[in-house]
Amino acid sequence: MAPFNTHEHKALAARDDGDAGMKFYEALVIIVPSIIALFLVCVLIVPPAQDWVRRRRERRQFDATFEHQPGAVELDTVDHWLRTAHNASTNAPTLSIEQLQERRRQEQLRERRRQEQLRERRRQELRQWAHEQEEHRRREFKKWAHRTRLHHARREQLQQEHRRRMFEPQPVRRRQEPLPALQPSSPSPTTSSESSRSGTASPRRSGKSFAAHGRTYADFAEHDAQSLPEFPARVKDKGTVGRRHSFDF
């Protein structure tokens, strides 16, 4: 007799356990879908089938009940019988099947006309709303275009004014009344050094050199200052600091 192998025994036991687990999972995979399918059949198929069987049974009973009547029994006829019984119980006038059918057609026609009137009213409201929206957009566009034109016109005017102040010479501002002509006088016997020491003005500062033209040196200096164009003030140029510049907008 071969000795007992513990490792082989454990391997065989593990294999048997694995086979049992696989069989359990295979059974589970088969049983669960079957249960779900049976539940769906009971919920989705059985009630409609029962309803169909019940209606078929009622139809057969209805046909068996009215077999003695001549011809096929229609629902309008049954409705007429029911209405007749109701009218007899309430002392109301009895209507024929044709009258009932005509009344039903009139009711359907009135309902169709009412629905058509509602749809037409809705279309008119939508057209009116679209027209109002279009008018509002047109008015807003006109306002925007007017504001844009005013803005561009004002901007062009400012640019032209800026160019005129920057690049065009200023007009010479002359006096209204002409200056009186100065008569030439004989030069003073004192020299310039003596006059400077004595406190009297030199011939150039007193304007005697321009006497032949009828203007003094101060007049020509004022004329030159007025005829010069106005440029922006520069910090490094001490002569133009404080003078009003043109682009002040």
The mean pLDDT values, 10 residues at a time, for the chain of 249 residues are 58 65 77 89 87 84 63 57 60 68 88 94 94 94 94 93 81 64 58 48 47 56 57 50 50
Per-residue confidence (pLDDT) for residue 115, from 0 to 100: 93
C-alpha to C-alpha distance for 148 and 146, rounded to whole angstroms: 5
Scan for tokens 């025994």, then name that residue: 9
Of 97, 89, 107, 52, which Cα lies nearest the Cα of 73?
A: 97
Residue 190 C-beta-side C-alpha neighbours within 13 Å: 12
Per-residue confidence (pLDDT) for residue 206, from 0 to 100: 47
Radius of gyration of the chain (CA): 60
Scan for tokens 């807003």, then name that residue: 140
C-alpha to C-alpha distance for 82 and 75, rounded to whole angstroms: 10
As given in the structure block, the two tokens for residue 158 are 């400012």
Per-residue confidence (pLDDT) for residue 47, from 0 to 100: 86
Per-residue confidence (pLDDT) for residue 165, from 0 to 100: 84
Tell me which H or E stretch contains 231: none
C-alpha to C-alpha distance for 201 and 207, rounded to whole angstroms: 9
As given in the structure block, the two tokens for residue 55 are 């209606």
Q: Where are the beta strands (DSSP E) in the chain?
A: none
- 3-state SS class at 147: helix
As given in the structure block, the two tokens for residue 27 are 């059974």
